[in-house]
């Protein structure tokens, strides 16, 4: 029993000694950690002081460099030192990585534009620009550079970037700088509007002109059916002109789906046969703006109104309202048409018969073809004359009346008659006022005299527009849209 107690006491003492040793080691480690912490704080303070000292020394160095650059006599060293300090400071503040554009001989204009932007962003010193450009040449451009250096004695040291840019642009530019303005002025749209805008932008980068002149060149360069309507809107700048041109181009594509139908004039009886040959127009060279209508389509049958007296006579005779045959339940009318029968009072019959002749001053309408000068399959442009004055005449089935240029009428001293203000409707929905008429206007077309009444309005593209008012005085018209010829009978009032 005594031995067991002694063993337990001995083990307790050993544990106590182990605890004492552990406490001593822990205290020693705590002291070491404190020393490390103190040393770390001291090192941080030393590093902060060293950083502050380095900043002061850097400021002194930069100040000495500026003073040295200001007093140094060599301009090349001066630009090198100041440019280098600015260059390194700028590189430290750059947020994104940017590679120098490479050039292989294609699209030199675009490459030079990117290079100039790189130099501005990178703040590249002037004496390094040529070297930067040379090391990024490839393929044909690199071969040209080698031959160019050999032609100058094997060195281009001291050549400025402006000089080198002029040489490389003269070698690879598609259009020379001295011909750039001529190329821009003669540029015309031949394909799609999108491709033409790209060509126009490329030509515009080679010249320096004001925005108003650029808009004027653009409106003259696009197709007439796009440019003429845009002139009425008067775009203020080139982006606005691009937007309006796209809208007009889309409108033309929509109109092509639903072509305008030509108007067939009424019948009358005359004695002499003549034919007109249209003048060549852009429509005969370029594809038509609108698809030609089918020549096999049946002509519209004129509407015939039955009077009350005629209805009573046919009913009394038992005749068909559409023909002169007897009507039976099994009768099939030869003139298979849809008729609208309207019974009028006797007092209204005379008014209805008088209203069959359209008034010359009622609801005048003029097409955009006559206003804008845009050719169409429903129009023909021919030459005429009045005395020794040549006339540009448009035969337009889309206009209801005849129109003569007001300035021409005044110049030729035509008999002008003042009338109450008339509103002429233009195809685009706008209105045009007319206050003057010319009755019995005479002119010559292809050796024949013609007479008609005309309304006097300002016209810019034609001298005389002959609408349905003149066409309805002709007999049956043979209008060949393919060959642009017109044949009809007429009576020469002067013979």
Residue 263 has what pLDDT?
46
3-state secondary structure string across 372-415 = HCCCCCCEEEEEEEECCEEEEEEEECCCCCCEEEHHHHHHCCCC
| CATH code, 420 | 2.40.70.10
Give the residue from 251, 182, 242, 191 showing the smallest Cα distance to 215.
242
**CA dihedral defined by 17, 19, 25, 30, rounded to 10 degrees?**
-150
Least confident of 50-54, 73-77, 235-239, 481-485: 73-77
pLDDT of 76 higher than 70: no
pLDDT of 319 higher than 70: yes
Say whether both 347 and 371 belong to one domain: no
Say whether both 369 and 350 belong to one domain: no
What percentage of the chain exceeds 70 in pLDDT? Answer: 74
Q: Looking at the domain assignment, is residue 48 inside a domain?
A: no
Residue 365 has what pLDDT?
85
Say whether both 393 and 483 belong to one domain: yes
Q: How confident is the model at residue 266 (pLDDT cuts 50, 70, 90)?
A: very low
Residue 36 has what pLDDT?
92
Say whether both 228 and 335 belong to one domain: no
pLDDT of 85 higher than 60: no
Residue 103 has phi, psi (to 5 degrees) of -135, 125
Q: Looking at the domain assignment, is residue 202 inside a domain?
A: yes
Q: Looking at the domain assignment, is residue 334 inside a domain?
A: yes
Say whether both 338 and 369 belong to one domain: no
Q: Looking at the domain assignment, is residue 221 inside a domain?
A: yes
Residue 354 has what pLDDT?
39
Q: Looking at the domain assignment, is residue 404 inside a domain?
A: yes
Say whether both 371 and 312 belong to one domain: no
Higher pLDDT, 95 or 431: 431
**Residue 304 and residue 300: Cα distance in Å, rounded?**
12
Residue 404 has what pLDDT?
92
Residue 494 has what pLDDT?
38
Mean pLDDT of 123-142: 85
Residue 402's alpha-carbon distances to 37, 221, 454, 464, in angstroms, are 106, 31, 5, 7
Q: Looking at the domain assignment, is residue 401 inside a domain?
A: yes
Residue 176 has what pLDDT?
54
Least confident of 15-19, 22-26, 266-270: 266-270
Residue 349 has what pLDDT?
40
**Residue 417 and residue 456: Cα distance in Å, rounded?**
10
Q: Global pTM?
A: 0.32
Is residue 102 within 8 A of residue 78, CB to CB? The reply is no
Q: How confident is the model at residue 221 (pLDDT cuts 50, 70, 90)?
A: confident
Say whether both 327 and 409 belong to one domain: no
Residue 351 has what pLDDT?
44
Say whether both 343 and 378 belong to one domain: no
Higher pLDDT, 114 or 98: 114
Q: Looking at the domain assignment, is residue 43 inside a domain?
A: no
Say whether both 339 and 417 belong to one domain: no
Higher pLDDT, 202 or 292: 202
Lookup result for tokens 């005969």: 284
What percentage of the chain exceeds 90 in pLDDT? Answer: 2
Per the structure, the count of domains in the chain is: 3
Say whether both 338 and 436 belong to one domain: no
Is residue 485 within 8 A of residue 278, CB to CB? The reply is yes
Mean pLDDT of 267-292: 47
Tens of pLDDT along 388-402? Answer: 888 889 888 888 899
Q: Looking at the domain assignment, is residue 212 inside a domain?
A: yes
pLDDT of 270 higher than 60: no
Residue 353 has what pLDDT?
42
Say whether both 330 and 423 belong to one domain: no
pLDDT of 163 higher than 50: yes
Least confident of 119-128, 211-220, 290-299, 483-492: 290-299
Say whether both 379 and 411 belong to one domain: yes
**Residue 40 and residue 53: Cα distance in Å, rounded?**
20
The domain in which residue 385 lies consists of 365-490
| CATH code, 226 | 1.10.1200
* Boundary of a domain, candidates 257, 284, 317: 257
Tens of pLDDT along 457-472? Answer: 988 888 999 988 888 8
Residue 239 has what pLDDT?
85
Higher pLDDT, 36 or 277: 36
Mean pLDDT of 213-227: 86
């Amino acid at each position: 029993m005594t031995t067991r107690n002694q063993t337990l006491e001995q083990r307790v003492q050993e544990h106590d000694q182990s605890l004492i040793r552990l406490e001593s080691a822990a205290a020693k480690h705590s002291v070491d950690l404190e020393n490390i912490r103190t040393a770390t704080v001291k090192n941080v303070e030393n590093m902060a002081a060293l950083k502050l000292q380095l900043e002061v020394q850097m400021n002194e160095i930069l100040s000495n460099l500026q003073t040295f650059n200001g007093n140094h006599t060599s301009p090349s060293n001066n630009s090198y030192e100041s440019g280098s300090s600015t260059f390194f400071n700028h590189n430290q503040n750059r947020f994104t990585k940017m590679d120098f554009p490479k050039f292989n001989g294609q699209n030199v204009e675009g490459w030079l534009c990117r290079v100039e932007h790189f130099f501005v962003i990178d703040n590249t010193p002037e004496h390094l620009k040529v070297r930067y450009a040379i090391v990024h040449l490839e393929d044909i451009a690199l071969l040209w550079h080698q031959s160019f250096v050999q032609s100058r004695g094997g060195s281009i040291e001291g050549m400025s970037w402006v000089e080198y840019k002029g040489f490389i642009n003269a070698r690879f530019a598609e259009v020379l700088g001295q011909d750039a303005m001529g190329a821009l002025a003669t540029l015309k749209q031949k394909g799609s509007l999108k491709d033409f805008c790209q060509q126009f932008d490329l030509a515009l980068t080679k010249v320096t002109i004001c925005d108003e002149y650029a808009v004027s060149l653009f409106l003259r360069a696009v197709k007439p059916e796009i440019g003429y309507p845009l002139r009425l809107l008067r775009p203020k700048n080139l982006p606005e002109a691009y937007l309006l041109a796209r809208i007009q181009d889309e409108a033309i594509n929509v109109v092509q789906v639903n072509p305008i139908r030509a108007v067939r004039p009424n019948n009358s009886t005359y004695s002499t046969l003549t034919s007109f040959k249209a003048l060549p127009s852009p429509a005969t060279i370029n594809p038509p703006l609108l698809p030609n209508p089918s020549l096999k389509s049946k002509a519209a049958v004129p509407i015939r109104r039955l009077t009350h007296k005629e209805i009573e006579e046919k009913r009394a005779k038992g005749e068909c309202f559409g023909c002169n045959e007897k009507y039976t339940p099994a009768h099939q009318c030869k003139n298979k048409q849809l008729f609208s029968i309207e019974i009028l009072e006797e007092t209204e019959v005379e008014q209805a018969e008088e209203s069959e002749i359209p008034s010359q001053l009622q609801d005048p309408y003029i097409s955009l073809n006559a206003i804008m000068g845009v050719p169409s399959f429903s129009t023909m442009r021919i030459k005429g004359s009045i005395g020794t004055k040549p006339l540009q005449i448009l035969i337009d089935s889309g206009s209801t009346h005849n129109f003569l240029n007001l300035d021409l009428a005044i110049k030729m001293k035509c008999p002008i008659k003042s009338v109450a203000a008339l509103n002429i409707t233009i195809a685009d929905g706008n209105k045009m006022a007319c206050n003057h008429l010319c009755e019995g206007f005479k002119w010559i077309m292809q050796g024949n005299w013609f007479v008609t009444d005309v309304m006097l309005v300002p016209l810019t593209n034609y001298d005389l527009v002959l609408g349905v008012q003149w066409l309805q005085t002709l007999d049956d018209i043979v209008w060949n849209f393919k060959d642009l010829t017109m044949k009809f009978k007429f009576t020469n009032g002067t013979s």
